[in-house]
Structure 1
Amino acid sequence: MAVAANQVSRYGLHPLHAFLLAGAVPLFLGALLSDIAYASSYQIQWSNFASWLIAGGLVFGACSLLWAVIDLVRAGRHERRPLVYALLLLATWVLGFVNALVHARDAWASMPAGLVLSAVVVVLAGAATWIGFSRLGGAA
């Protein structure tokens, strides 16, 4: 049984980890699209949507980051991919948190910084997801 658990850690993501990782991307992407909608329409509700979507993305991202740190501790010293993966998730979460703080301000005051931060967070979350799921194809 220990061999099977080790293979999941080395060769792919646990299904729950994959679910949490894949859940953060659409939430952050939805926040970016809401920011774009706010920038073009100035309807304050779009900024509220973005705030809630960022909060959801942070919850999923924190769970994925915790799992990545556990995998990093369990990984060997010669494996670089778990370190890069964990650092990308950490950068995503930290910038996502800053983005949440920016969106906590007045809707008018959150632009254009909120829009730029949302775009950067989406790119980082996409890169982390790409690296996380690329572990499915072979050895880490």
Structure 2
Amino acid sequence: MPEHAARAEPLASPIHAILLAFPVALYPFALATDITYLNTAVVQWTNFSQWLIAVADFFTGLLLAWALISFFFGRARMARGRSTLYLIVVAAMFVTGVINAFQHAKDGWASVGTAGLVMSIVCTVLALVAAFLVHSTAVVRENRA
């Protein structure tokens, strides 16, 4: 390696990235099942949405806990302003996801409707924003021999 080689480090730990992968995958899939339910009125699609949102909420809760621990006790890998914004986005995603789960727990057409669809859209956007905040930039550290 050259004397002053630079290497890129990810902004989040591998466990953090794994936990983030679940909401990033499951909230958009729940949105897709909501849209399918609104177009077909087949009740099974709302059941799929309920399970997808419940699992996404579980992993978002773990992600929020991990983000809080990393924010207060972890090495400062992300810039403080960026990590604060990330923490706010994850907390908003968790709260919106829980409210969305309660909305989807209603019976039949009332479970999705406008409110359920909007909350699914918001959860999806927040998950993608959180992923962008973590994975858009890497910290470059210079190695000095």
TM-score over 0.5 for the pair:
yes
The equivalent residue for 1:52 is 51
Q: Is contact 1:71-1:82 (8 Å) kept?
A: no
The equivalent residue for 1:129 is 131
Distance 1:13 1:79 in 2: 13
Deviations 1:73-99 (A, max 9, x none): 1366x7111111111000001001000
The equivalent residue for 1:69 is 68
Question: What code does the residue aligned with 2:131 have?
Answer: T
Question: What code does the residue aligned with 2:114 have?
Answer: P
The equivalent residue for 1:92 is 93
Distance 1:71 1:39 in 2: 39
Question: What code does the residue aligned with 2:135 have?
Answer: F
5 Å-filtered alignment, 1:108-123, equals 108-110=109-111, 111-123=113-125
Q: Name which one, 1 or 2, has greater alpha-carbon Rg.
A: 2
Shift of 1:107: 2.1
Q: Is contact 1:25-1:125 (8 Å) kept?
A: yes
Between the two proteins, the alignment pairs up a number of residues equal to 128
* Structure 1, gaps ≥5 residues long: 1-9
Deviations 1:91-117 (A, max 9, x none): 001001000000000121121211111
Question: What code does the residue aligned with 1:59 have?
Answer: F
Shift of 1:11: 5.0
Which structure is higher in helix share?
A: 1
Q: Is contact 2:27-2:53 (8 Å) kept?
A: yes
Tell me the C-alpha RMSD between the 2 structures: 1.6
Distance 1:108 1:138 in 2: 47
Shift of 1:12: 2.2
Q: Is contact 2:10-2:135 (8 Å) kept?
A: no
Distance 2:107 2:10 in 1: 45
Which structure is higher in strand share?
A: 2
Question: What code does the residue aligned with 1:46 have?
Answer: W
Q: Secondary structure at the match of 2:108?
A: coil
Distance 1:79 1:103 in 2: 36
